[in-house]
Each structure stands twice: as structure tokens, then as C-alpha cells.
A and B are shown apart, each in its own frame.
Chain A
């Protein structure tokens, strides 16, 4: 069924109340998505500034820009801000909030007020994070390992623990909302296996947010108590075990990386399907692989601790499971590739980002196999090889998927189009800059350069200069892309309801949507991505 594409009498969600109060007290999932979008963009800029600081320092082997304590704070805050305040919420809280109810054919998430609450909780946690930056920062590394963080650090670890603790609840509530929404609020006819794959990705992510985040919450709570009351639970001087912290911390923080990537994989499914005009190949396998990654992802945390002194048997178990969790990701990559086969491929901006994702995720995911390998990881653990690996998956894959999604649904969210030329150009510059920044780091890591190093041996300067040059290029590309989007928000051409001729409930409503999403709740009769075997000519859509 297709809704009328002409404007209805009802105002779009953007215009439905124009006071600040109408935004700050909204319960509309779309507005909450926009509130998150603004906030995480700001945090991304802050985290990015810290990144520029790191790479600026590492142009030279000695400490020319910062002293060591300051440098340690810069890379710590880069990690804390990027992981907790950008990556974890990014796709779920912005695109997920906006699109999930629409994609399943309902008016809002199950608990709209809790949705707003979760944004406020996020803002409070984030504000504490900003406060932390101005109150001396944090120098423990984002991983907060005791006894350094509990007993030796002179920075405000308790404040950092509080910021992470509070923002964790935002994540838990978002996951709760999404999970219940998908279970209980699907439109008539929207069976589980007719759901768009983005929804499967968000659902799997929601499970991890729900079950994993509470564990890191209690872990940082224990760290907080240790710092403030010296209860001694992780302090070996009083019989505590610092490795216990590592277990509790990574039990969440490994599934957390799947929180970061699963929604992105969902976006890629949507984009590749649309710009090949084909059903995603092997839909049930792609759907189930998201669940598989979520579940098995809870069983592999020990691979962050191969050199911590835990027994060889434990290491072997974690290594096998880590290799197994790689299989569902491989399944996705092959299915995405097969989706393009005999399709009708169009290289619009979202597809350009998706193609970049494919290449970068191949490198990022496959280098994960190196890290999983016991024989290799003894050598590469805590080196730049690891840094390169996780940036390829967290930035090269997750961030690129986020940008793909932003550019794909931008016309839907804002009713405007961005200029194609600058958008594609910035994608290319970001891609080139990214690879220049992080590929040399694989080499540096295997050569033995440890991570979190302020000073490094002179013989590694060339590769570091390459990497830092890449970082400047990457920043330029991101700034260009950001400027393009901002320009489009102000002066972009008006967008039709379905500029990409895509299939999906979100494309059958106006751009931007009305507050209630649908004039009438749809009844779903076709499968996901039911692209016809003839491409309609653009004039008729």
C-alpha cells in the first residue's frame, strides 16, 4: 500500500510544536532521536579533538606537545568519550529511535516517557563526563584497570565511574524499550521474518544492552566504592584480586563492541538492498546471525586477558569461542556480496559508504582473527596492532555504517536533500584518511610498538608520521561531510517521500513524517525488500 505523497493536513513532527519546551518535553521517538543526534555529534567532536591531540603528539618520538600525564589524559578521554558517549548510543539512539517504530508499523516505542528519560540520563552522564574533562581529566586508560585506577591514579576516577555508571542506565532503558517494542507493537501482518534487517540488528543489540550493561554498572560501582571508601575489593595489598576487575569489566565490554557494530550491520543490509534493488540474499541467515553474534558474544570476554596470567586452559576455551563468533559475521559479508549479484546497482552516497564499509570491515573483522590467535596475541596484545584492529571495526565499520545510515535516511528525517557531489567527495576523503591513519598501525604493532605510548623509539617515526598525516586527512573529510549535511539542513532541496525508490514502511510516509507516523496503521502483506523485477522509472514513484 502506499500513502499519499502529497502533504497531509497534519504538520510534520518537526513543525508540530516549535517551542524549546516542546522539544525538551517531547515523547515523540523521532524528536528524541534528533535530540540524541545533536548530543552525540557534539561528543564526537570532543572525542575527535582528543584524537587529533594524540596524533599531533605522535608526529615525533618524544613528548613535544604534551607532558606525559597530560598525554595519558588525552588518550584516556578520547576512549571514554568515543566509546561511552558516541559509539554505544550512536546508531541505536539516533537512527534506531527514529526508525524502529516506523519500520514495524507503529506510532511510537513501547515506553515513550522512558525513552525521554533515557535521553536525560544520557545527558546527565555526559555532563559528568564533560565536568571530568575540566576537573583534571582521567589518566587510567578507558579500561580503568586497578590497582592503578583504584589506588595510584591522581585523577578523578570516582567522577569518571559515576559518569559511566549513569550513562549506562540510558543504554539499559533504550535496550528495554526496543526489545519490548519489537515483541509487542508490530503492525498486523508484520511477522518476525518480514522485519527489516535493521530491526533484527537493533533487537539483537537491545538484548546486549539489557543484559550486559548492568554488569559494567556494578563493576564501576565497585570501582567507585574502592576509590571513595577504600573497601579493598580489587587491591592486592589487602588480598583483593585485580584480575577479577578485568573479568567483570570485559564481561560487558566485549559484548559492548557488538552493541557498536550490530546496528551498523543492520544499516548496511538496508542500504545494499535498496541500492541493488534486491532482497537481501539469505535473509533468514542474516537475521539469525545477528542473534548469534549477540549470544556468542557474551562468551568470549577472556580474549582480552590472554597475558593476564589466567590459565592456559581458560585461554584455549576463549580462543575457540572467539573464532566461532567470527562465523556469523562472515555469513553476513558473503550474503551482502551475493545481494548485489544480478541486481541493479546505483552508487549513491549511502552505497558509497556501504562499499567502504565492506572493505574496511573485511580488514577489521579478519584482523580480529589474528587477535584471537593464542600464538600471535602473546606478541600483539597491547600493541598498535590491537589499536588498528579495533579502529577498523569501530570507526571503519561502525562509523562508516552510521554515516551510510545518516545519508540514507537524511531526506526522510529532515525532508531535504544534500548535494551529492560534496557528500561523495567527503566519503572518499574520509576513506583515504582513515586507511592512511590506521593501516600503518598494523605494521607498527607487529613490530612491537606498545599502545598508550607517549614516547616511542625513533625508528618508528616514519610510520607514525604517515598515521598522523592520515588523521589530519580524516578530520578534514569529516569536517567536509559535516559541513555538507549542515548546509543541507539549512538550504537543501526539498525531498520527496521516497527519493531512493526504496522498499520499506518508512518510505511510504511523508518526508518528514507526521508525529503519528502513519495516517492509518498499515497492514503488512509483503516480505521485506519486495523489490519488483522491473525497475520503475523515476517519474512514476
Chain B
């Protein structure tokens, strides 16, 4: 009695022991997930603030540094994430309309595949920066180094741009990895038949999380990639 949440199985749906009814359980889950996403906004918000302040302090440097990012790959990633949100929504829809676990799992698998594609593209982007010596460590400002050649006077501001770039996209990628883990968990739950039209809370809350991570990227892409996209320096 003490150990596990004694799930009621009224009519085949799962109700935790401490809730009065499904409605209370569902509303609690929703409020909880929205509140959690609000905390994530505050979490990323700190880095958005840093970006705002330093962009204001070093406008030239930010333009030049942003120009170094690959807009094509970033754009592909944006499309990838948008499609992944579509497949996520379709997974939820298939649970909503009682289509059973195969369509649910199929849409979830597609979502994961998009997520993995995003991470793979990110890996290649990061690797390119590593190869060009553009990681914002202590060697970034070294005289004669690649960044010093590219940015000249603006190397300090460029370093800060890259610090923020890696911190924000790194944090975002971490959230993507967690999201893929959650999708895997949802696939297992779906296989066990947990999601029915009267209770598909797990899928819905996972979907909210996934959409949020997508939304963060929708902000990051223009802020980081498109900022310097128009600058013509030749170097890429």
C-alpha cells in the first residue's frame, strides 16, 4: 500500500491513488507541465539576457562572428524541428482519436528520427568550429590564430559571441537529448497501451515539452545565425 501509487483502473484508465478523478489528474498534469515550461523560460532567459547585453556592447563583433555560422545547416535544422513538432502532434492526435498503439509509436519514431537528425547536423557544425579553432577557450585570442585573422580588433567580442552560441545551442541540444529519452519512454508506455482517448496525459505533456524545445530553437536561429547572414566577408 505504501510503496507504489495504487493506480485505479476504472474503465481501463490509469488514475493515481491521491487524485479524486481523471479530471483532477489531467488538470494537475497540465498545470504542472506549463509551470515547468515557465521555469525553462526563466532558465534560458538568463542566457538571452547575456546575449542582449553583449550584442549591444559589441555589435560589429557579433555581426562578424555570426557570419561564420552556417545558415544553410541552421535552416535545415529549423525545418527538421518544425517537422518533428508536426509528427509529435500527430502522435498525440492518433491517441486522441483512439487509433491504437501502432500509429502512435510510428509517429513517435519519426519524431525521434527528426530529433536525431537535428543532433547529427549540430555535431557537424560543432566539429567545423573545432577544426577552425573557433571554440571560445583560452586559445581563441592567441595572436596569429584563425580567429585573430578573421576578426582582428573584434576578437574579444567574437569570443563572447561564440561563448554564448555554444552555451545556448549546447543547452538546447541537451534538452533535445532529454527529449529523445522522453520519447523513448513514451514509446514503451504506448506499447503497453497506456494512451487512450480518455487519458493520454503522458503523450500530451511530452508533446508540450517537445514543442517548447522547438520554440527555443525558433528564437536561437535568427538571433545567432541570421544576425550576420548578410555580411559579406568572403570567409566562411
Interface of A toward B, CB cutoff 8 Å:
16-17, 22, 25-28, 106-113, 172, 176-177, 179-180, 183-185, 210-215, 217-219, 221-222, 225, 229-233, 238-241, 244, 248, 515, 521
Q: Tell me the minimal C-beta distance from B155 to chain A in angstroms.
A: 9
Q: Number of B interface residues, CB 8 Å?
A: 46
Chain B residues with Cβ below 8 Å from A16 are: 1-2
Q: Tell me the minimal C-beta distance from A203 to chain B in angstroms.
A: 12
Report Cα–Cα, A233/B159, bound state, in Å: 9
B167 touches A225 (CB 8 A): yes
Chain A residues with Cβ below 8 Å from B47 are: 218, 222
Query: A16-B2, A233-B163, A241-B53 given as contacts; is B35 within 8 A of A176 (CB)?
Result: yes
Q: Tell me the minimal C-beta distance from B142 to chain A in angstroms.
A: 12
A176 touches B32 (CB 8 A): yes
From the candidates A110, A231, A241, name the one contacting B32 in the complex (CB within 8 A): A110
B31 touches A248 (CB 8 A): no
B43 touches A214 (CB 8 A): yes
B46 touches A210 (CB 8 A): no
Can you list 18 A-B contacts (CB < 8 A)? A16-B1, A16-B2, A110-B18, A110-B32, A112-B5, A112-B16, A179-B35, A180-B28, A184-B24, A185-B24, A213-B39, A222-B47, A222-B50, A222-B167, A231-B167, A233-B50, A239-B58, A241-B53
B35 touches A108 (CB 8 A): no
Q: Which of A177, A183, A229, A231 has the most CB of B within 10 A?
A: A231
A239 touches B156 (CB 8 A): yes
A211 touches B5 (CB 8 A): no
B167 touches A107 (CB 8 A): no
Chain B residues with Cβ below 8 Å from A212 are: 42
Report Cα–Cα, A232/B4, bound state, in Å: 48
A244 touches B137 (CB 8 A): no
Report Cα–Cα, A24/B19, bound state, in Å: 23
Chain B residues with Cβ below 8 Å from A233 are: 50, 160, 163-164, 167
Q: Tell me the minimal C-beta distance from B136 to chain A in angstroms.
A: 5
B157 touches A239 (CB 8 A): yes
The B interface is mostly helix, strand or loop, or mixed, namely helix
A184 touches B31 (CB 8 A): yes
- B121 close to A (CB within 8 Å): no
Q: Tell me the minimal C-beta distance from A496 to chain B in angstroms.
A: 25
Which residue in chain A gives the minimum CB-CB distance to B49?
A248
Chain B residues with Cβ below 8 Å from A217 are: 43
Q: Tell me the minimal C-beta distance from B58 to chain A in angstroms.
A: 7
B39 touches A113 (CB 8 A): no
From the candidates A183, A225, A238, A248, name the one contacting B159 in the complex (CB within 8 A): A238
Report Cα–Cα, A248/B50, bound state, in Å: 9
B24 touches A515 (CB 8 A): no
Which residue in chain B gives the minimum CB-CB distance to A172?
B39
Chain B residues with Cβ below 8 Å from A176 are: 32, 35-36, 39
A231 touches B137 (CB 8 A): yes
A232 touches B136 (CB 8 A): yes
A239 touches B24 (CB 8 A): no
B2 touches A515 (CB 8 A): yes
Besides the known contacts A27-B5, A106-B18, A248-B49, 12 further A-B residue pairs in the complex with CB atoms under 8 A apart: A22-B3, A25-B3, A28-B2, A176-B36, A218-B43, A229-B136, A231-B136, A232-B160, A239-B157, A244-B50, A248-B46, A515-B1
The 5 closest A-B pairs by CB, nearest first: A239-B156, A218-B46, A231-B163, A214-B43, A108-B18
Chain B residues with Cβ below 8 Å from A231 are: 136-137, 159, 163, 166-167
- B38 close to A (CB within 8 Å): yes
- B17 close to A (CB within 8 Å): yes
Chain B residues with Cβ below 8 Å from A222 are: 46-47, 50, 167
Which residue in chain A gives the minimum CB-CB distance to B17?
A107
Q: Tell me the minimal C-beta distance from B133 to chain A in angstroms.
A: 14
Chain B residues with Cβ below 8 Å from A240 are: 160
Report Cα–Cα, A26/B157, bound state, in Å: 51
Task: Enumerate B1-27 residues with CB–CB distance to A below 8 Å.
Answer: 1-5, 16-20, 24, 27
